[in-house]
């Protein structure tokens, strides 16, 4: 990350704070973000900084990440009352209590979560350790994934989950997320306030230059190599949601003190091929298709989850996907000094 990357995100997340007339965190003073160097964590941190400025609130913000990149660009201006811990939560426990814990740790890229041995440990051992840091009257946000629906062909609602074979390429990631949800529901039964967010395909500023998820990978290939070489013919369908919209939903749900599971997803459907075409057009990169269709192992044909439950809590006018792509490309040009 570049040194002033957080400033870029703070400015970007003015869009988030504009949706709040009152402080959604008035009941929380000490906050812990776990997984603070990822796409979701960085944007949450940027929004928290904006909240402290807009509402003149006195938040103590602690950030945990295995990556040391976060500390490098928390400059003096932004580091007031922000503490950074370079900790592996599957091996080491913290000894402090928090009013609000936002658990967004874990790998989001199939390229990583199908290979790394910590994929299963983070939402199991790591999350279990984290609950010990939550005050009894506090709140924990657990970021799950729409991947828990793997195996279903329809009816992607919060009352359902899929059926994944143990030898599935994504089984470690999916079953880890399911374990985290099971643990969270057990804690709800014990009287804890736990919000579970089944997030589907967030994108936008904050993603890293090593992010192998298809949207980011296409943009990076276009900017670095002036070409996008696809692995298959892009028939699979996706619904993306811009990261700022995710953060708005998050804090609206927190402000209304919701618990249990909520899907968070975009609305507009796009195929992987159409996605590649849009990025190719915006970057003037060549698009190269394979002669034969060779689907990526384990990749779902369609990701199309319902957000009816979410819309009953707050109806948001989601950012247009093309506008979101432009913002994401701008972010990557900033990182790559293009």
pLDDT of 76 reads 47
What does the domain layout of the chain look like in residue ranges? 5-206+240-268+305-319
Per-residue confidence (pLDDT) for residue 193, from 0 to 100: 98
**Which pLDDT band, with edges at 50, 70 and 90, does 294 fall under?**
low
Checking if the pLDDT of 102 tops 60, the result is yes
Q: Which structure tokens are listed for 45?
A: 């941190």
Average pLDDT across the chain, whole number: 88
Higher pLDDT, 73 or 178: 178
Which CATH code of 3.40.50.11780, 3.40.50.720, 3.90.1420.10, 3.40.640.10 fits the domain covering 5-206+240-268+305-319? 3.40.50.720
Instruction: Tell me the pLDDT tens digit for each residue of 306-322.
Output: 899 999 999 999 999 99
Res 98 pLDDT > 90: yes
Whether residue 40 is predicted with pLDDT greater than 80 in this model: the reply is yes
Whether 110 shows a pLDDT value over 80: the answer reads no
Task: Please compute the mean of the pLDDT values over residues 70-80 and round it to a whole number.
Answer: 58
d(CA 13, CA 10): 5
């Amino acid at each position: 990350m570049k040194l002033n990357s957080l400033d870029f995100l703070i400015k970007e997340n003015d869009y988030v704070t504009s949706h709040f007339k009152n402080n959604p965190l008035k009941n929380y003073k000490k906050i812990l973000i776990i997984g603070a160097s990822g796409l979701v964590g960085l944007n949450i941190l940027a929004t928290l900084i904006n909240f402290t400025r807009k509402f003149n609130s006195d938040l103590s913000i602690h950030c945990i990440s295995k990556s040391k990149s976060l500390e490098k660009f928390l400059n003096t201006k932004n580091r007031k009352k922000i503490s950074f811990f370079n900790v592996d939560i599957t091996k080491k426990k913290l000894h402090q209590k928090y009013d609000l814990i936002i658990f967004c740790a874990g790998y989001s890229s199939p390229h990583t979560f199908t290979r790394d041995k910590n994929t299963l440990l983070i939402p199991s051992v790591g999350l279990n350790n984290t609950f010990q840091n939550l005050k009894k009257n506090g709140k924990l946000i657990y970021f799950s994934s729409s991947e828990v629906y793997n195996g279903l062909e329809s009816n992607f609602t919060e009352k359902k989950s899929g059926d994944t074979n143990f030898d599935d390429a994504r089984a470690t990631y999916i079953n880890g997320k399911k374990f985290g949800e099971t643990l969270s529901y057990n804690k709800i039964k014990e009287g804890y306030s736990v919000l579970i967010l089944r997030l589907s395909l967030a994108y936008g500023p904050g993603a890293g230059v090593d992010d192998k998820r298809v949207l980011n990978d296409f943009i990076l290939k276009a900017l670095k190599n002036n070409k996008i070489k696809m692995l298959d013919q892009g028939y699979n369908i996706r619904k993306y949601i811009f990261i700022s919209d995710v953060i708005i939903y998050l804090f609206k749900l927190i402000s209304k003190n919701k618990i249990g599971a909520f899907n968070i997803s975009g609305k507009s459907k796009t195929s992987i091929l159409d996605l590649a075409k849009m990025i190719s057009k915006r970057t003037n990169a060549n698009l190269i298709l394979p002669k034969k269709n060779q689907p990526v192992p384990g990749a779902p044909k369609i990701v199309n989850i319902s957000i009816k439950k979410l819309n009953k809590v707050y109806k948001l006018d989601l950012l247009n996907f093309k506008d979101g792509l432009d913002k994401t490309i701008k972010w990557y040009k900033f990182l790559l000094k293009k």
